Amino acid sequence: MRARAFKEIVLKELKLTLRKPAYMFWNIVFPIILLTLLVVLFAPKPSAPATAESIKVVVLPEERTPELVNYTRVMAKYLREKPGIDVGLSVSTFNGTLEDALSCLKNGTYDAVILVPKDAEKAMNKNLTINATIYLLTGTPKPFKEQLTRALLVNFYNITGLFIAASTINWSASALVPYLEHAQLPEEALETLRWLKAGVNALGRNVDVKIVEVRPKMLKKASEIRPYVIGWMTISVVFIEFMFLGVLGVAISISTEFEKRYAVRLLSAGVTPEEIYAGKIVAALALYSIPSVVLLLWGTFVLGAKFTHGLFSIETAEILVLMLTGTLLTMFMGILLGLLFRSTEAVSIAANALIWPTMMLGGFWIPKFMLPAEIRIFAEVNPLSVLMYAVVEVSCYDRTLEPYLPAIATCLCLTLALAVISTILFKRRFSKMLER
Amino acid sequence: MGEAIVIEDVRKRFNGVEALAGVSHVVHEGEIHVLLGPNGSGKSTLMRICAGVLVPDSGRVLVFSKEPYRDFDVKFRIGYAPQEGLLYEDLTGLENMYFYAGLQGVSRGEARRIYEEIKDELELGEWFEKRKVKTYSGGMERRASIAVALASDPELLILDEPTSGLDPDGRRKLWDFLLRLKRKGKTLLIATHLFEDAEVLSDEVVIMHKGRIVAKGSVDKLLSQAGYGYSIDVEVARKSEELKVTLEKIAGIKPVEIGYIYRFYANEPRLVEELRDAIERIGQKALRLELRRISLADVYFLKTGVMLE
């Protein structure tokens, strides 16, 4: 591949695209308007107090035995009455199945579901262990509420566990000390007994701690939540752009190339089909980056988006890889569409028919957790949604990619497969075009 | 003079249809060779193989001793203007020129120099520099296409139907320009279906029909090989079998019927008088009786049986 020819093709593609008013509107102006509207309409207002959040938790037993139902009810009561962080915590027992409870959780009715396992009471009686499974709603645009729910429940179980253990020691040791005082004990053991008595007297009354409410830093005000929500919205709009620019834009570009047969003349100038193909791909990548950078700058500096990692962190590198995968995936989808249909009109219809449902059902326009359960299944498996939500998790919620790794690997394989198929089809279509 | 193009028994099929059926020819450096034939005769396919766009199924084409569809460097010595132009519609003519110059390793400055050199001769006005190709008329697009083919100052120019879409004045100016290029030492391979182009421009005419070369040589040679010196057109108001038989008897050959015209080929110009007398004798009248020296169109008809006007 000759560098000069390659460079000329890339520059030509950029020139052809960038001078189109439609490109400037749909890829720069429109997304900026869209992002601004989303922020104005849906981002949390800076004045809104964050502590007004209400957390809804339900507790249910794994089996409906009277003992376990009672145990569950007691646990819910303790949880409800637990003094703690100043939030509107609502706790109730759930009368349905776990499946029903999880369905409600996914719909956003609850923030957490606590399952009391069937052997919970036995474990308590046997070795004072509290068994429970907590199902926590995650991936919402309110990561701080998620953090608070998690902290609240974990804290409850830790404190309760400690309290039960301490109470049991207090009770059993108190009963044992009078017997020991009248027993014939060696001199060395009497000193230990003295300490045991002091400890038992002190147990339960050994806490002299002031309660200082310490909330996670970012929970202080909604104005500190807002920048991360704007970050989430910015990434959504960048992915929406990937769909428009990648699938629709690239598909039309490829289709036009074949319809107009420009390549016939290019070949006579010593350009190879590979150079044309590679030039188009690189130009498309450059064209992708323009609206992405503009949107990120607009979101950050004009609308005030914040991301959890610095520009030169490992997480940012991960995000870039994910976004590049999204770019390539949409681009090869576009190339494939451009090759499969004969006319630009047909390509345009097919691309629109693909991108709109993908965006609407995939959680691009509407957050995934707000989608009906039946539709959310699509958002859970759609490769582009997976990539987008993985980027959001890392860049806005400061989470790791770990839960997304299998899905990301699938996306990479899919991208690779589309790349291979597109390249083979491009070569075939190229030969056919020359013979027209 | 060296050989610019050597075509050796080239064959090409598209979807089972034979576009070229064993074509051989040689174009010497500094000459203009014109491929003459109607659409579908194989001209464009042959030109695309010469330009390195298509690969022949068998046989080979050598351009400056290299196969252009395999050796990419030789393409830098070729300028190709396809029939459809195929310029980028959203670029200006000059931007197209810079782009193709760049592809062929010519700097922008050098391309500009070439443009300055040819712009008056090709009448490339402000429109070429400032307007996008999609706003050009047919004639502008043809001239722009030729200018782009010249962007790298190639030694060989391959022009497919360069005069189509031009008005008579534009055609004459383009003929002059192409002849000047020849005088500068460039080799030109031109495809056309217009006999005038071939008569004015060619050192050698290659008559193509159904993927084959049916005749070739200089215009004079082809005319002398035709076997006749004249063609006579007899246009009548009403055709009749009696008239046809009478004329045939006088001329000694069957006429070619083109609508209400009977065309005869002859070596003696006086036949026209004999035909006029015969028509009058049977009480009919010729609307037009025209005697012409035999032309390339006649040669094409005599060689292929196809009448191109």
Map B23-76 to HEC letters: EEEEEECCCEEEEECCCCCCHHHHHHHHCCCCCCCEEEEEECCECCCCCCHHHH
Structure tokens at A395: 């860049």
Which residues of B are less than 8 Å from A261 in CB distance? 84, 86
A11 and A126 together in one domain = no
User: Of B52, B102, B158, which is closest to A267 when you measure between CB atoms?
Assistant: B52
**Mean pLDDT in residue range A137-153:** 74
How many structural domains are present in chain A? Answer: 2
Q: Which residues in chain A are closer than 8 Å to B44, comparing Cβ atoms?
A: none
pLDDT at B92 over 60: yes
Report the predicted TM-score, pTM, of the whole model to 2 decimal places: 0.72
Helix axes A3-18, B93-103, angle to 10 degrees: 160
Which residues span the domain enclosing B289? 227-293
Give pLDDT, residue A215: 36
CATH number at residue B244: 3.30.70.980
Cβ-defined contact of A435 to B14 (cutoff 8 Å): yes
Do B218 and B236 have their domain in common?
no
Interface A:B, Cβ pairs < 8 A? 68
Q: Given A5, A20, A434, which is nearest B103 (Cβ)?
A: A5
Average pLDDT over every residue of B105-114: 93
Does the beta carbon of B72 lie under 8 angstroms from any beta carbon of chain A? yes
User: Quick one: B124 and B252 in the same domain?
Assistant: no
Range of the domain at A143: 50-219
Give pLDDT tens digits for A227-276: 888 888 999 999 999 888 889 989 998 898 888 888 889 988 888 888 88
Residue A53 pLDDT = 57
Residues B22 and B11 sit within 8 Å (Cβ to Cβ): yes
- Dump pLDDT digits (tens) for A381-411: 889 999 999 998 888 877 788 888 888 899 9
Query: In terms of pLDDT, which residue wins out, A375 or B134?
Result: B134
Report the complex ipTM.
0.84
Reported confidence tier of residue A184, pLDDT bands at 50, 70, 90: confident
Q: Is residue B270 part of a domain?
A: yes
Render pLDDT for B142-165 as a digit per residue (tens, 0 to 9): 999 999 999 999 999 999 999 988
- Subunit contact A434:B105, Cβ cutoff 8 A: no
Give which of A242, A243, A216, A273 is closest to A5, Cα–Cα: A273
Question: Does B144 share its domain with B250?
Answer: no
Domain boundary among B205, B224, B243: B224
- Confidence (pLDDT) at B63: 96
pLDDT band at A183 (very low <50, low <70, confident <90, very high): confident
Examine the domain organization and report whether A17 and A88 are in the same domain.
no
Instruction: Please give the pLDDT value at position B200.
Output: 92
Judge if A207 and A78 occupy the same domain: yes
In a domain, B186, yes or no: yes
The share of chain B scoring above pLDDT 70, in percent, equals: 100
Q: Which of A187, A219, A251 is the last residue of a domain?
A: A219
State the average pLDDT over residues B219-238: 88
**Residues A24 and A65 placed together within one structural domain of the fold:** no
From B91's Cα to the closest Cα of chain A, the distance in A is: 7
Asked if residue A226 and residue A303 are part of one domain, the reply reads yes
Q: In this complex, do A264 and B53 lie within 8 Å of one another by their Cβ atoms?
A: yes
Least confident of A97-101, A106-110, A388-392, B27-31: A106-110
Q: Check CB contact under 8 Å for B84 and A261.
A: yes
Question: Last residue of a domain, which of A155, A184, A219?
Answer: A219
More confident residue, A14 or A403: A14
Task: Give A258→chain B minimum CA distance, Å.
Answer: 11
| CATH assignment at residue B185 | 3.40.50.300
In chain B, the number of structural domains is 2
Report the distance separating Cα B125 and Cα B132, nearest Å: 13
CATH code: domain of residue A191: 3.40.1710
Q: Mutation test of the interface with chain B: which of A7, A268, A274, A427, choosing the one with the most B Cβ atoms within 10 A?
A: A268
Residues B47 and B190 in one domain: yes
Please indicate whether residue B170 or residue A171 has the higher confidence score (pLDDT).
Answer: B170
Q: Please indicate, yes or no, if residue B309 is contained in any of the structural domains.
A: no
User: Would you place residue A47 in the very low, low, confident or very high pLDDT band (cuts 50, 70, 90)?
Assistant: low
Instruction: Tell me which of A23-37, A175-189, A412-426, B183-197 is least confident.
Output: A175-189
Instruction: Please tell me whether residues B79 and B199 are part of one structural domain.
Output: yes
The answer, yes or no, to whether residue A202 has pLDDT greater than 50, is yes
How far is A86 from A149, CA to CA, in rounded Å?
A: 12
Q: What percent of chain B has pLDDT over 90?
A: 60
Supply B60's token pair: 């080979």
**A179 shares its domain with A34:** no
Same domain, B189 and B237: no
Most confident segment among A160-169, A207-216, B64-73, B281-290? B64-73
CB contact under 8 A, B95 and A15: yes
- Probe site for chain B from A17, A18, A265 (most B CB atoms < 10 A): A265
One domain for residues B149 and B212? yes
Q: Which of A189, A219, A249 is the last residue of a domain?
A: A219
Please tell me if residue B73 touches chain A, with a CB cutoff of 8 Å.
yes
Grade residue A206 by pLDDT with cuts at 50, 70 and 90. Answer: very low
B140 with B261, same domain: the answer is: no
Q: Do B90 and A272 touch (CB under 8 A)?
A: no
| Beta carbons of B78 and A20 less than 8 Å apart | no
Q: Are residues A40 and A54 in the same domain?
A: no
Q: Name the domain boundary from B193, B224, B255.
A: B224
Same domain assignment for residues B212 and B288? no
Q: What is the mean pLDDT of chain B?
A: 90
| Distance to chain B for A268, nearest Cα, Å | 5
